[in-house]
Amino acid sequence: MIPLAARAATVPSPFNAEQQKRFDEGFQRAVAKYPPERRRAALLAALHLAQDELGWLSEPAMAYVGHLLDVPPVRVREVATFYTMYRLRPVGRHHIGVCNSVSCWAMGAEKILAHCAQTLGIQPGETTRDGHFSLEEVACLASCGTAPAVLVNNFRYVENVTSQTMDRLIEKLRGMPGQEMTPGPAARLPGHHHQAATTAADSGSTERK
Amino acid sequence: MTKILTVDWDKPESWLLRTYGDYQVLPKALKMQPQQIVDEVVKSNLRGRGGAGFPTGMKWNFVRKETSFPKYLVVNADEGEPGTFKDREILLRSPHLFVEGLVIGCFALDCHLTYVYCRGEFREGPVKRLQGAVDEAYAKGYLGKKILGSAFDLDMHVVFGAGAYICGEETGLLESLEGRKGYPRLKPPFPANAGGGLFKQPTAVNNVETLANIPVIVEKGGEWFSNIGLVPKNGGTRLFAVSGHVKKPGVYEAPMGISFRRLLDEHCGGMREGSVLKAIIPGGSSSAIMTAAEADWASDFDTLKAKKTMAGSGGVVYLDQSVNMAQALANVMRFYAHESCGQCTPCREGTAWLSRLLDKIVAGEGEKQDVDNVHQIARQMEMKTICALADGAAMPAKSYIEKFRADFDGLVRG
């Protein structure tokens, strides 16, 4: 097997030095969880790590991760487009996911979603023009006893939400920098449905939303 | 009332080892013959808590019979069935109970490498708690080389997905764990058999709650556990994750087989002020709906199967009179249409078609024929696909219409 450093040298890294350090640490930990001949299994983890650094999965990031794990580009893309937590274009620096599965729906999630849409001036699936917020309707978060539930920035649960608590949350997030997005194709802006910037493969994944 | 899984939940910092205490059952288990442990689990009538209700002891015997090594135990912590939120609570509130059960399970199966596959959204919350427990367990010698001075070695890794309901299906989970998209595999070979499991090796895939029951079964014996269940062949207690229009939603531990009426009145404080019970989702959104008049049904796997619904994941949703069941079904179907992985045509096309028809009906643009079509399409999706997602979409579609037809007819023309 070619040493890691030698392989990486052949595909440019999308990270700056600080990002590279964090990514490398996480990557070594992720790969170490599997038997050496099964290191490709770390693909999902490696994509998470890349997205943690860049905010989304750019083409160079996918190429780099695929190269490190010796996974063909088509396989990387297959995985990146299959799972909803991976972003194939920049989203807002703060991402608000409102659960609208059955328990949350019964407890008024549609009102919460509509309220957020009105407050932010965007529809679910869109990003505000200043790039600060995106809004999305998400599937069951396993938080049904504290419905309606909201997931902020992929991992933070906010539960028993009301329109008032969402207002306070949005106000608070306005003052926080959030996840910096590596520059790339335009995010989905209001009234701007990404025809120009969308690649053929991207549209496959947006359709699933 | 007997509590097994929730005994520590009210204690402060219940997730730490100093609250849980030293593992008491593991030393005993390590002195037993592995087959003895499996025999107790068989006697306990423990049924898989993820949804299928498959007898855990039987599954473990399948794996034990295989002669191909290594063998794996993989934990399904990809909790995502709408209405279900109990595994998240176990990971947050008593991860050590689960880890102790997992170590005993691995010993019983002669497994030396185990993975816990959590849904990606759990990464900062439940996964961190679990990882903290794993670190404590390694430090104490409950994991790693020569556990508690025995000859048994075990490594445990926590990994996570990236947002896909289908990875809760055990073979979709294995695909995902191997680093691919979560397309379920055609069975046989089943995961327990050589060729069907993780990296094609014999693999037991068990739910978090299932494994959290193992320590008490080894401690007190399978018969003790079995007798807790109110219905034969359904041992133990189970965690009911209750949501909807009840006074006190939450996770409640009750004997397997408790009726939905008792669960509502004795644990959840009844329906909330002004709410009258209209419908019950008994075991996650994939289960067939129940009417208020059916609330006296027992909640065990076999009773509900005989009633043409299922105990499923223990996610119970009580819905009140404000809910129009056609609208509820439209919501449920949007979920399945979104989460169908697209591998099998009846599911990919069927869920999307049902969703379109139901959206049309709730928009007031449907006709009576559309309701009939929903029912017929659902019937044609059953038993035709690699995994059970299509059946899980068809069951609510058929039952909502059969039991609440008036809600649909009220919305359509003619």
Do B42 and B156 sit in the same domain of this protein?
A: yes
Does residue B7 fall inside a structural domain?
no
The CATH number of the domain where B233 resides is what? 3.10.20.600
Do B142 and B213 sit in the same domain of this protein?
A: yes
Do B105 and B185 sit in the same domain of this protein?
A: yes
| Helix, strand or coil, per DSSP, at residue A57 | coil
A contacts of B249 (beta carbons < 8 Å): 144-147
pLDDT tens for each residue of chain B, 414 residues long: 799 999 999 999 999 999 999 999 999 999 999 999 999 999 999 999 999 999 999 999 999 999 999 999 999 999 999 999 999 999 999 999 999 999 999 999 999 999 999 999 999 999 999 999 999 999 999 999 999 999 999 999 999 999 999 999 999 999 999 999 999 999 999 999 999 999 999 999 999 999 999 999 999 999 999 999 999 999 999 999 999 999 999 999 999 999 999 999 999 999 999 999 999 999 999 999 999 999 999 999 999 999 999 999 999 999 999 999 999 999 999 999 999 999 999 999 999 999 999 999 999 999 999 999 999 999 999 999 999 999 999 999 999 999 999 999 999 987
Determine which helix (DSSP H) or strand (DSSP E) holds A167, and give its type and residue range: helix A163-174
The CATH number of the domain where B205 resides is what? 3.40.50.11540
Do B27 and B172 sit in the same domain of this protein?
A: yes
Number of domains in chain B: 3
Do B114 and B46 sit in the same domain of this protein?
A: yes
Q: Beta strands of chain A (E only): which ranges?
A: 94-99, 133-138, 150-152, 156-158
ipTM of the complex: 0.96
Question: Do A44 and B176 touch, CB atoms closer than 8 A?
Answer: yes
Domain A4-82 homologous superfamily, CATH: NADH-quinone oxidoreductase subunit E (1.10.10.1590)
Shortest Cα–Cα distance, A131 to chain B (Å) = 23
Domain membership of residue B120 as a residue range: 17-227
Domain boundary among B320, B344, B359: B320
A85, B121: Cβ pair inside 8 Å? yes
CATH class of A94-174: alpha beta
Q: What is the mean pLDDT of residues A90-97?
A: 96
Least confident segment among A111-120, A154-163, A199-208? A199-208
Do B205 and B160 sit in the same domain of this protein?
A: yes
Domain boundary among B194, B227, B260: B227
Do B239 and B345 sit in the same domain of this protein?
A: no
B181, A102: Cβ pair inside 8 Å? no
CA angle B15, B17, B23 (to 5 degrees): 120
pLDDT digits (tens, 9 = 90+) for A150-169: 999 999 999 999 999 999 99
Do B91 and B211 sit in the same domain of this protein?
A: yes
Do B117 and B153 sit in the same domain of this protein?
A: yes
What pLDDT was estimated at residue B93?
97
Does residue B348 fall inside a structural domain?
yes
Do B251 and B348 sit in the same domain of this protein?
A: no
Question: Do B253 and B237 touch, CB atoms closer than 8 A?
Answer: yes
Does residue B8 fall inside a structural domain?
no
Say if residue A208's pLDDT is above 60.
no
A102, B249: Cβ pair inside 8 Å? no
> Residue B40 contacts by C-beta under 8 Å, 6 or more apart in sequence?
B57, B217, B218, B221, B222
Read off the tokens for B312. 């499923």
Say if residue A194's pLDDT is above 50.
no
Interface of A with B (CB under 8 A): 33, 35, 38, 40-45, 47-48, 69, 71, 75, 78-79, 82-86, 100-103, 105-107, 139-147, 151, 154-157, 208-209
Q: Which residue ranges make up each domain of chain A?
A: 4-82, 94-174
Shortest Cα–Cα distance, A79 to chain B (Å) = 5
The CATH number of the domain where B391 resides is what? 1.20.1440.230
Do B300 and B333 sit in the same domain of this protein?
A: no
What pLDDT was estimated at residue A206?
37
Picking from B392, B254, B204, B231, the residue whose alpha carbon sits closest to that of residue B303 is B231
Do B295 and B372 sit in the same domain of this protein?
A: no
